Structure 1
Amino acid sequence: MPMQNTRSTAEQAAAPPTSLRVLSLNCWGLKYLAKWRSERLSEIGNQIAAADPPPDIVGLQECWTQQDYNAIRDRTKHFLPHAKFYWSGIFGGGLAILSRWPIEESSMMRYPLNGRPAAFYRGDWFVGKGVACARIRMGPTKRDVAEVFCTHLHAPYETEPHDSYICHRTAQAWEITKLMRGAAERGHLAIGLGDFNMVPLSLAHRIIETHSPVRDVWRLLHPESSVGAAKETAEKLRGLPMPSAEFNMTVNGATCDSALNTWRWNEAHKKRLFKGENIVVDSTVDDPGAKRLDYIFFSGPGWSLKEANVGMTMRHPTLHCSLSDHYSVEATLTSSLSGSVDDAQAERYLPLDTYDEILATISKYDARERTQRRLRMGHFGFQLCLTIACLVGVWWSPHNYVSFILMLLSSLGLSVGVIEGLMGGLFVGSELRALREFEWEVRNTRQRAVSRQGALPAN
């Protein structure tokens, strides 16, 4: 066992770290749906344990089951002795944090806006997505505290700006930004990591880097890296040549949809793989679909970025498949044992038209949901009337089988109507109230931005 992994917790607390290795990975651990789930997640634990240098803090997403968490935990607890599996929603939040140092406090903050129960086939609402928060004590002073925020934002199902859930993801980015800003203002090392389901310089990305002092580790090292997949319009406008799979991983930081990831192959290649054939893909192959969805953000007095890389690209040793449909993003932070919190206290604002864009998105989604509520309540009223009509019809029914059909229609109609009524009357109402809170915050921030610009001296 490596010497650095044998230090006691007391020794680690007495000697604050001067270097910190962070790893974030979406494990793709969907129960019943993800192929070879148990085998892959067990191997993920093996590879985290074999990593060189070993990670000090690990954030996992889509680790849905306690069984898979325990499998990873068993393989890593000798050097990551402190860990937390987070519970949330109906089926769990899929989030976990593992740490070399003690977790003093933890909480699970669910996002107020998080999908719709009617979209049960997507599942975002049912899993209770949010932010897994952990306060990690690395040493005796305030600057030796790391506040880690692990998250998985709402998935995009269409390309922006046509994504019907862009309002949800924007609101979620706003919420985690507040948490990271608060940690930075307390003088702690703030680390935000996870599958943010956004591309660089998107609206959610700009909110995070503007309304908190945290920085995207990859863009610090590669400021000219891609802003999306090569086949998408935003990247095409840059006029750059088609990137290879290797270039996407080493320069663009692509963690998802890589041509090298077996779960993104065409069906013919997958069939060969599932039959046990170890298919090798040249890393120089064109890679038009790869993009960066996984991030590590950080901010802290005295902490700086040393390196960052895309990791966990190896395959399962016997199944020959990628360990997940995502690759990990990893970073090493170093401490200079000095620094101030002035940057964390300074307020920065987006351009005013960006706030107007957010407000327009909120307004558009608000109108959509109000229409949905009217339709669902109208459907409830229709089904209620149909139920009453069926019950009345039973009185004049000439045959028993007709009565049975009317009673069956009555029961089914009332059940559907009640579900629609609950969604329209309760859920949509709750969502509209969350939208109003989000709208108020954006308007309030915009007003402060206007006041700030008015206070600045003219050029």
Structure 2
Amino acid sequence: MAEHTSNPPSRLRILSLNCWGLKYIAKWRNQRLEEIGNQIGAADPSPDIVGLQECWTQQDYNAIRERTKNILPYGKFYHSGIFGGGLVILSRWPIVESSMMRYPLNGRPAAFYRGDWFVGKGVACARIRTGPARGDIVEVFCTHLHAPYESEPHDSYLCHRTAQAWEIAKLMRGAAERGHVVIGLGDFNMIPLSLAHRIIETHSPVRDVWRLLHPDSSVGAAKDKVEQLRGQPMPSAEFNIAKNGTTCDSAFNSWRWNQAHKTRLAKGENVVIEPSVQDPSAKRLDYIFFSSGEHRDPDSGEKTTEWGLEEACVGMMMRHPTLHCSLSDHYSIEATLARSTASPSATVIDRESTSERYLPIETYDEILDTITKYTAREKMQRRLRMGHFGYQLLLTIGCLIGVWWVPHNYVAFILMLVSSLGLSLGVTEAFMGGLFVGSELRALKEFEWEVKHTRERALAQKLNERDQGSYQAV
């Protein structure tokens, strides 16, 4: 394994990809993930740090590691939840510290058909040493936020995703305050400038690499109302990739094709999609956020930002060489960071101007309103579940009493079966309502407290700025 050298790197090449490695569900999973490993290993220039999502099994992780170990000798497969979080971090340099932080709010166990709660979604954290100096540290945060199952603001999991964005923003802010380079990457299941996106960019000093280079890029799929309000023409598939950075639901991606194209693909045909085809559904869900580390000038003693953004692109668009399908239902987002001294053209973040930024007061009110509505929903769920438990308990007692009076054994058997199944269901509901919902309500209280106190600080800053403006006017 290659250790870090005495000369720290002048560039950092970063790649993030949702692999779509759902066991038993994702088609051609083994073949696709092996080819993902092949393509990462053969990339030129090769990546230095890779974050993967939906790499659910140790087998798939080992297959990718085997194919990338020559360029990425260090790696970590993160364990979380009942079925695993699906998160992986690979690195050219040693991972000196690692942890898995699970989100306090993360789906509901009753929604077993969705699985978010069972996989224990959270943030895979890795501290990577790129050189011998004290400041040669990169902190990487790889995540996969809760999936949206309805459109905002009607998504019943909006509160969960908002809280998760708040949590990862805190982690990245802490890393930036330590003076380290911060990289947040993954499938954030949000569109640009959504509430979760604004929370991350406001409550931590990180910036979305794509919007740094393409500030006028789309904020949703072309067919969505939020994008139609911008009055932009219908984009082509090529334009969406090059300018809008769309990583999901692209017309180029074989897993989003219509049935006619899928039939041709199933027959072994290598279907070619014209770059000019209209692309109304593509959107950007995958992100790389970064914040530069700080170094102190040895002569002046002033703090200077060290890293800037050089380029960003959508990648991993190649097809499987024999199956001719896309390697995942997402494409990768890739970025290159350069030391500001090595690349004068790199986009550098002004950390001083972002150190104490707040969202508008009405946005905090919006978050608090979301928490209030979701809390009321969960309290109602707890009452319904506990009521269901009481009903099933009474039904069980009734069946047991009825056994004494029925004339036939088969009727007694049916009553006993009904009582057993009913009691099992009732006890499950009691656990769900009494334990899980109770735990979730406590997590909501913590989140609410943080938002309220941040709102107070934002309001105090606003009043202070207004007072200073009045004083200067006088």
Q: TM-score, normalised by structure 1?
A: 0.96
How many angstroms apart in 2 are the aligned matches of 1:361 and 1:283? 41
Q: Which of 173, 193, 213 matches 2:185?
A: 193
Q: Which residue is equivalent to 1:336? A: 340
Q: Which residue is equivalent to 1:312? A: 316
How many angstroms apart in 1 are the aligned matches of 2:135 and 2:240? 35
Are 1:351 and 2:352 an aligned pair?
no
Contact 2:291/2:349 (8 A) holds in 1: no
- Post-superposition CA distance 1:281-320 (Å, at most 9, x none): 1111000000000000000131100000000001000000
Q: Which residue is equivalent to 1:120? A: 112
How many angstroms apart in 1 are the aligned matches of 2:421 and 2:117? 25
- Aligned AA for 1:9? A
Contact 1:185/1:341 (8 A) holds in 2: no
Contact 2:150/2:156 (8 A) holds in 1: yes
Q: Which residue is equivalent to 1:61? A: 53
Contact 2:82/2:118 (8 A) holds in 1: yes
SS in 1 for 2:20: coil
Contact 1:212/1:344 (8 A) holds in 2: no
Contact 2:191/2:283 (8 A) holds in 1: yes
Q: Where does the alignment leave 5 or more consecutive residues of structure 2 unmatched?
A: 294-305, 343-347
- Aligned AA for 2:265? L
Q: Which of 117, 138, 144 matches 2:136?
A: 144
- Aligned AA for 2:332? S
Q: Percent identity?
A: 76
Q: Which of 223, 244, 247 matches 1:255?
A: 247
How many angstroms apart in 2 are the aligned matches of 1:281 and 1:413? 54
* Cα drift, residue 269 of structure 1: 1.9
Contact 1:23/1:57 (8 A) holds in 2: yes
Instruction: Compare 220-229 and 270-279 and name the one that shifted more.
Output: 270-279
Q: Which residue is equivalent to 1:284? A: 276
- Post-superposition CA distance 1:224-281 (Å, at most 9, x none): 0000000000100000100000100000000000011000012232122122121111
Q: Which residue is equivalent to 2:378? A: 369
- Aligned AA for 1:319? L
How many angstroms apart in 2 are the aligned matches of 1:210 and 1:125? 27
* Cα drift, residue 105 of structure 1: 0.3
Are 1:415 and 2:424 an aligned pair?
yes
Q: Which residue is equivalent to 1:3? A: none
Q: Which residue is equivalent to 2:296? A: none
How many angstroms apart in 2 are the aligned matches of 1:28 and 1:342? 35
* Cα drift, residue 347 of structure 1: 1.1
* Cα drift, residue 455 of structure 1: 1.6
Q: Which residue is equivalent to 1:399? A: 408
Contact 1:13/1:101 (8 A) holds in 2: no
Q: Which residue is equivalent to 1:274? A: 266
* Cα drift, residue 337 of structure 1: 5.6
- Aligned AA for 1:354? T
Q: Which of 21, 26, 35 matches 1:29?
A: 21
- Post-superposition CA distance 1:144-188 (Å, at most 9, x none): 100000000000011111111000000000000000000000000
Contact 1:142/1:188 (8 A) holds in 2: no
How many angstroms apart in 2 are the aligned matches of 1:143 and 1:298? 16
- Aligned AA for 1:198? M
Q: Which residue is equivalent to 1:327? A: 331
Contact 1:88/1:108 (8 A) holds in 2: yes
CA RMSD, 1 decimal: 1.4
How many angstroms apart in 1 are the aligned matches of 2:87 and 2:361? 35
How many angstroms apart in 1 are the aligned matches of 2:292 and 2:37? 29
Q: Which residue is equivalent to 1:448? A: 457
Q: Which of 239, 244, 247 matches 2:236?
A: 244
SS in 2 for 1:28: strand
SS in 2 for 1:194: strand
SS in 1 for 2:393: helix
Q: Which residue is equivalent to 2:391? A: 382
How many angstroms apart in 1 are the aligned matches of 2:67 and 2:461? 52
Contact 1:133/1:147 (8 A) holds in 2: yes
Contact 1:184/1:344 (8 A) holds in 2: no
How many angstroms apart in 1 are the aligned matches of 2:30 and 2:369? 44
- Aligned AA for 2:90? L
User: How many pairs are equivalent?
Assistant: 451
SS in 1 for 2:66: helix
- Aligned AA for 1:208? I
How many angstroms apart in 1 are the aligned matches of 2:276 and 2:98? 43
- Aligned AA for 1:128? G
Are 1:51 and 2:60 an aligned pair?
no
How many angstroms apart in 2 are the aligned matches of 1:70 and 1:58? 15
Q: Which residue is equivalent to 2:300? A: none
- Post-superposition CA distance 1:99-122 (Å, at most 9, x none): 000000000000000000000000
* Cα drift, residue 143 of structure 1: 2.9
How many angstroms apart in 1 are the aligned matches of 2:38 and 2:172? 31
SS in 2 for 1:158: coil
Instruction: Compare 304-313 and 271-280 and name the one that shifted more.
Output: 271-280
* Cα drift, residue 341 of structure 1: 9.2
- Aligned AA for 2:324? H
Contact 2:205/2:351 (8 A) holds in 1: no
How many angstroms apart in 2 are the aligned matches of 1:285 and 1:71? 35
Contact 1:352/1:449 (8 A) holds in 2: yes
- Aligned AA for 1:391? L
Consecutive aligned runs of 4 or more in structure 1 exceeding 3 Å deviation? 337-342
Contact 1:142/1:187 (8 A) holds in 2: no
Instruction: Compare 251-260 and 271-280 and name the one that shifted more.
Output: 271-280
* Cα drift, residue 397 of structure 1: 1.1
Q: Which residue is equivalent to 1:5? A: none
Contact 2:19/2:328 (8 A) holds in 1: yes
Contact 2:247/2:282 (8 A) holds in 1: yes
